Amino acid sequence: MQIISIDYILECMNDEKNYFGDLWQTCLNNKKRFNRTKLKEILKRMEVLGHIKKHGYKDDAYYVKYYHHSMEENIGFINNIIFTYESKINSTIKNLENKKIFVDISKGLLSSKFNKYTKSDYELLLTNMAGMFELASSILWTKENSDDEKLKKELKNCFKQINEFMAEINQRLLQGRGTEERILLQRDFTSKIPKAGHLKI
């Protein structure tokens, strides 16, 4: 898994049309080109978070950055993402509450097995939690790089909403579990949290 800077990807792009082939040549990873599949995934995540927008299809496709035309549009976009992730997380956690996720946990937590009846729901939960953590990381980056005080205030509220929701989810999932299982869950959650302004891919 790699740590990708949102700022760096945006710096690789000009203010007009950015074709994938051009980005693949100019956007380097430790002085080497990204794997094409990896770069496509990075651009897809950047689009989900609202930093860029893809236009066109296949070889004619290109990306543009900073496409939100107003603060209201930007915040509306972020709130829609928050609502989507909240709905997905709430849906999966219902299938996990009061059910074991890990079984056969070894002494020292060196090994464990998934409960086959909850494995798919747990993996889906982690995927959606990772998406929410990335959104929080993106919000912090946007807040730090904006001069718009009204936008920064709204972003602060969005970040607070995410923090409160994720704290509630954490409490719901850990409640009633043994110490070893709680430690394993917390370890998984922590591994999904990127640094502010970064993606984990």
Please give the C-alpha separations between residue 193 and each of 16, 43, 186, 200, in angstroms, as whole numbers. 32, 19, 11, 8
Domain end residue (candidates: 65, 85, 101): 65
Query: Are both 58 and 77 inside the same structural domain?
Result: no
**Quick one: pLDDT at residue 164?**
97
Q: Looking at the structure, tell me whether residues 97 and 160 fall in a common domain.
A: yes
Question: What one-letter code names the amino acid at 173?
Answer: L
99 with 187, same domain? Answer: yes
**Does residue 145 have a pLDDT over 80?**
yes
- Asked if residue 185 and residue 164 are part of one domain, the reply reads yes
Q: What is the pTM of this model?
A: 0.89
What is the arithmetic mean of pLDDT over 184-201?
91
pLDDT single digits (tens) 88-137 = 999 999 999 888 898 888 877 777 888 888 999 999 999 999 999 999 99
Residues 173 and 139 in one domain: yes
- What DSSP letter does each residue of 37-69 carry, written as one string? HHHHHHHHHHHHTTSEEEES-GGG-EEEE----
How many domains is the chain built from? 2
79 and 134 share one domain: yes
Pair (83, 50) in one structural domain = no
pLDDT tier at 198, thresholds 50, 70, 90: very high
Is the domain of 106 the same as that of 195? yes
Verify that 15 and 109 share a domain, yes or no.
no
Which of 43, 65, 87 corresponds to the end of one domain?
Answer: 65
Expressed as residue numbers, the domain containing 53 is 3-65
Task: Report the half-sphere exposure of 10 (CA within 13 A, side-chain side).
Answer: 21
**Statement to judge: residues 125 and 140 lie in one domain:** yes
Same domain for 40 and 18? yes
